[in-house]
Amino acid sequence: MIHFIKNNKWIIALSLVCIIFGILTFFTFIDRGFIKLNDLNLQILLTIDLILLGIFFGFIIRETFRVLKEKRRKKIGSETSSKYIVLFTSTTLLPSILIAVFSLVLFNVGLQKYFDKQIKYIVNSSAEVATNYVNQTISSIEADVLLMVIDVNRQSKLFYDNPKQFLNLLTSQRLLRRLDEVHLIDSSGNIIMSNIVDVTLDFVPPPDEAFDKSLDGKPVRITDPSTNRTSALVKLNSFIDTYLYIVRFMDPKVINHLQQTSDAVSFYYSVQNRKTGIKISFAIIYLLIVSLLLFLSVIISINLASRLTLPIVNLIGASEKISAGDLTAKVPKVETNREFDKLNENFNSMIEKLKKQQDRLLITERHTAWESVARKLAHEIKNPLTPIQLSIDRIREKYLKNNENQNTNISKYLDTINKQIQDIEHLVNEFSDFARMPKPILKKIELNKLISRSISLHELSDSEIKFNFIKSKTQSYINGDEEQLNRVFINLIKNSIESIHEKKRENVDFKGKINVDIERDSDYIYVTILDNGVGFDQVDKKKMLTPYFTTKKKGSGLGLSVVTKIVSEHNGFSAFNSVKNGAKVEITFPKYI
């Protein structure tokens, strides 16, 4: 997933920008965004959407041409990739296009239904009901004030004789008429007597023009939409400079609903006047958003097809190289599904094992050829050595027996010849031993014990070298010949010791160390010998495994050849590599079954 994001970061970024601008355009269109809805802003947003759409379309064209170009060149996997792209794109586009067409038709039908006669009648009726409610409230307070004037004027004497009882009269009138405030005020707006529901509210006197209008004895209606107050003022003829002022508050929720109804009616008729433009604008915005999402799905389809076909292409390429004989070919590691990863890993493991088997067969064939040569050479060289040795003995007996002092030079010559014959015999014996090396007698062997004995043998004679043996946590059994495998590890450790001594000749204070490590998995056991000697940098690694190749003055060149031969006959593998400040030898054996 991370690999996919890295490879397609620009496309993903552009997709996010497109989706953000599409959503922003839509919310601006319905006037629910932070950008003010007007023609200029909407045109700018639509232009940006069109530009982004063009860039996206350019990406699709580029990717399409790339796929077609690969197909024309008959590149490996191009046909499969193109089929996947067509499949993914078609399964994405066809349903999306059908849904888009259906949505546009549904929107058009729904918008048209929105403007039919029944909806228009309901909208107009809602506005009429709201207006009637306000008018009814205003009319009712006018009737209430007229009825109260009659009752209050009748009790004018009580006002002067018993003000407290008169206040009770006002209270009962307020409760009877369901008023919020009842006041007796003078012409200056000063309160003479009052009874109110909420004492925390500030008194709002009538405007001056209301006093003037009420002088003829008729009630004056006063409305204040900002405070939801509906009030009435009337002059009391039975009182001196006294006015009756009553107040009723309309329900704030009702007023809010009335305001919303009014706004809805205004919005409805504004939408009706612009319904053709709205249809066109909505269609453009909808097509832009749908197109952006469709193009995004196409890009994802192309990349998904490439992601699916890339492991297949790699497998085909590697198999072609292998069929041509190149067993070093590997399937490149790519970020893909777990199943493909496992397939690639198994394929590479299979090729690696096949390469090791091929190397082992080559080593076996090479050793077989050298064994044949060694047998013939040993036979051909040994035959003349015996008469030569007899001839030297006769010469020594005939010419030097009684006159050794006079023939000193001849004696030296004969000694030299005799020494060379012995060296040749030693070499011939090694040839014979190599040629006559028996087939291993396989049986169950525990490697930890075998290697431990080999190390102990060298630790006694080379105490200055530090040996570090890391055994496997569990017993490591293989099917092998104990004598031959012991010879393998003795030779390898001996080579490491000689390499350390060679390095020590240049630096007397040099401290040598040899690490031996045993590890295992489900199929194999791995033995690693690591030293800090001179390493293999100065040696041809191909030649050093060849029989009779040596860099030592007195070496026969058979040590590593014997090692590789024995390991190969045990169905194992060997690898010789230089590391920093030393050498590393890795021996692999199949586990005992």
CATH number, position 180: 3.30.450.20
pLDDT-based confidence at residue 379 (cuts at 50, 70, 90): low
Question: Is 122 among the domain residues?
Answer: no
Choose among 25, 27, 30, 89: nearest CA to 51.
25
Question: Is 268 among the domain residues?
Answer: no
Collapsed DSSP state (helix, strand, coil) of residue 4? helix
The total number of structural domains that make up the chain: 4
Residue 566 CB burial class (10 angstroms; 0-12, 13-18, ≥19):
buried
Choose among 302, 308, 313: nearest CA to 78.
313
**Domain-terminating residue out of 436, 460, 475:** 436
Which residue do the tokens 């009435």 mark? 232
Q: What is the predicted pLDDT for the residue at 555?
A: 53
State percent of the chain over pLDDT 90.
7
139 has pLDDT over 70: yes
- Asked if 544 and 453 sit in the same domain, the reply is yes
Query: What is the arithmetic mean of pLDDT over 49-76?
Result: 69
The Cα 123–Cα 111 span in angstroms is 15
- Asked if 13 and 144 sit in the same domain, the reply is no
pLDDT-based confidence at residue 44 (cuts at 50, 70, 90): confident
Q: What is the predicted pLDDT for the residue at 6?
A: 62
- pLDDT tens digit sequence for 298-310: 666 666 766 777 7
- pLDDT tens digit sequence for 438-490: 788 889 999 999 999 888 888 877 888 999 998 888 888 999 999 889 989 98
- pLDDT tens digit sequence for 196-249: 888 888 888 888 888 888 887 788 888 776 667 788 899 888 888 888 888 888
Instruction: Determine contact, residues 228/248, Cβ cutoff 8 Å.
Output: no
Instruction: Determine contact, residues 451/391, Cβ cutoff 8 Å.
Output: no
Q: Please, what is the average pLDDT of the chain?
A: 75
- Asked if 12 and 104 sit in the same domain, the reply is yes
What DSSP line would sit under 63-116, residue for residue? HHHHHHHHHHTT-TTHHHHHHHHHHHHHHHHHHHHHHHHHHHHHHHHHHHHHTS
Query: What is the arithmetic mean of pLDDT over 84-107?
Result: 68
Q: What is the predicted pLDDT for the residue at 277?
A: 58
Instruction: Determine contact, residues 583/533, Cβ cutoff 8 Å.
Output: yes
Q: What is the predicted pLDDT for the residue at 405?
A: 55
pLDDT winner (highest mean) among 53-57, 143-147, 185-189: 185-189
The Cα 131–Cα 234 span in angstroms is 25
**Domain-terminating residue out of 406, 436, 466:** 436
Element (H, E) at 459: helix 447-461
- Asked if 353 and 413 sit in the same domain, the reply is yes
- pLDDT tens digit sequence for 343-378: 777 777 777 777 777 777 776 776 666 666 666 666
- Asked if 353 and 386 sit in the same domain, the reply is yes
Question: Is 410 among the domain residues?
Answer: yes
DSSP 8-class letter at 332: P
Question: Is 133 among the domain residues?
Answer: no
> Could you give the angle at the alpha carbon of 169 between the alpha carbons of 167 and 171, nearest 5°?
70
CATH (domain of 540): 3.30.565.10
**Domain-terminating residue out of 376, 404, 436:** 436
Give the length of the chain.
Answer: 593
pLDDT-based confidence at residue 423 (cuts at 50, 70, 90): confident
- Asked if 160 and 205 sit in the same domain, the reply is yes
pLDDT-based confidence at residue 574 (cuts at 50, 70, 90): confident
CB-side exposure of 470: number of CA atoms within 13 Å? 12
What DSSP line would sit under 419-456, residue for residue? HHHHHHHHHHHHHHHHHTPPPP--EEEEHHHHHHHHHH
pLDDT-based confidence at residue 529 (cuts at 50, 70, 90): very high
The Cα 147–Cα 144 span in angstroms is 5
Give the CA-trace dihedral at 111, 113, 118, 119, to 10 degrees: -20
Instruction: Determine contact, residues 521/540, Cβ cutoff 8 Å.
Output: no
Instruction: Determine contact, residues 573/558, Cβ cutoff 8 Å.
Output: no
Q: What is the predicted pLDDT for the residue at 443?
A: 92
Query: What is the arithmetic mean of pLDDT over 413-430?
Result: 74
Q: What is the predicted pLDDT for the residue at 273?
A: 61
333 has pLDDT over 80: no
Return all residues near 359 (Cβ < 8 A) that are at least 6 apart: 573
Question: Is 421 among the domain residues?
Answer: yes
pLDDT-based confidence at residue 389 (cuts at 50, 70, 90): confident
Q: What is the predicted pLDDT for the residue at 228?
A: 72
Choose among 485, 460, 447, 497: nearest CA to 565.
485
DSSP 8-class letter at 256: H
Question: Is 125 among the domain residues?
Answer: no
The Cα 566–Cα 485 span in angstroms is 7
CATH (domain of 426): 1.10.287
Instruction: Determine contact, residues 535/585, Cβ cutoff 8 Å.
Output: no
Question: Is 124 among the domain residues?
Answer: no
Instruction: Determine contact, residues 259/225, Cβ cutoff 8 Å.
Output: no
- Asked if 486 and 565 sit in the same domain, the reply is yes
- Asked if 569 and 486 sit in the same domain, the reply is yes
Q: What is the predicted pLDDT for the residue at 271?
A: 60
Question: Is 408 among the domain residues?
Answer: yes
- Asked if 246 and 151 sit in the same domain, the reply is yes
Q: What is the predicted pLDDT for the residue at 425?
A: 72
Q: How far is CA 305 from CA 13, 272, 300, 308, in A?
A: 20, 48, 8, 5
- Asked if 375 and 445 sit in the same domain, the reply is no
pLDDT-based confidence at residue 587 (cuts at 50, 70, 90): very high
- Residue with the bigger pLDDT between 144 and 538: it is 144
- Asked if 156 and 248 sit in the same domain, the reply is yes
- Asked if 459 and 568 sit in the same domain, the reply is yes
The Cα 363–Cα 359 span in angstroms is 6
Q: What is the predicted pLDDT for the residue at 445?
A: 92
Q: What is the predicted pLDDT for the residue at 513?
A: 92
Return all residues near 477 (Cβ < 8 A) that are at least 6 apart: 444, 445, 446, 447, 591, 592
Instruction: Determine contact, residues 516/490, Cβ cutoff 8 Å.
Output: no
Partners of residue 110 on adjacent β-strands: none
557 has pLDDT over 60: no
Q: What is the predicted pLDDT for the residue at 531?
A: 92
| Mean pLDDT lowest among 33-37, 470-474, 490-494, 574-578 | 33-37
Pairing of strands 229-235, 191-196: unpaired
Query: What tokens does 168 get?
Result: 């009770």
Q: Could you tell me the residue range of the domain that residue 554 belongs to? A: 440-590
pLDDT winner (highest mean) among 411-420, 453-462, 508-517: 508-517
pLDDT-based confidence at residue 515 (cuts at 50, 70, 90): very high
Choose among 43, 20, 24: nearest CA to 35.
24
The Cα 50–Cα 48 span in angstroms is 5
518 has pLDDT over 90: yes
